[in-house]
Amino acid sequence: MIRVCTTEDVPKGTAVSADVDGTQIAIVHAEDDNFYAIYDECSHEQIALSEGEIDGCTLECWLHGSRFDLRTGEPTGLPATVPVPVYPVEVHDGDIYISLEPMGERQ
C-alpha cells in the first residue's frame, strides 16, 4: 500500500486528485463516510472525475453527467459505458493508503 494523504486532506463530500507513482487517482470521501480511490479520468472522455460531484457512493462526471459507483467503478448511467478502475483503500492513524492493483473482476 502507498500512503497518499491524510484523512484531513479530504473533507467529507470532496475529492482530491493525487499522483500515485505516476497514476492519477481521485481520493473521495463519500457521504457514507468511507474513503474511495478511483482512476481520475472518465471512461467517456479525458475529464478528471475528481472535479465532479459526489452523490452518495457515486462520483459524477461534470461534463456529461455519467455517474460512477465508487465501490465498483461501474457507470450507472450514459453516456459512459466502460467502468473506471477502482483501488483498495485503507486508513491507518489518519493516513490514507491505496494499492495500485485495481479491485474486482470486470467484464
* Site residues for ligand FES per CB under 6 A: 42, 44-45, 47, 61, 63-64, 66, 79-80
Nearer to ligand FES, 58 or 96 (CB): 58
d(CA 68, CA 89): 17
Q: Closer to ligand FES at the Cβ: 66 or 87?
A: 66
Grid coordinates in use for 78? 450514459
Q: What is the largest CA-CA distance in the chain?
A: 39
Q: How far is the CB of 67 from ligand FES (least distance, A)?
A: 9
Work out how close the CB of 97 gets to ligand FES at its nearest, in angstroms, rounded to a whole number: 27
Closer residue to ligand FES in complex, CB, 50/66: 66
For every residue of 60-98, DSSP letters joined together read E-TTT--EEETTT--BSSSS--S---EE-EEEETTEEEE
Quote the least distance from Cβ 60 to ligand FES, whole Å: 9
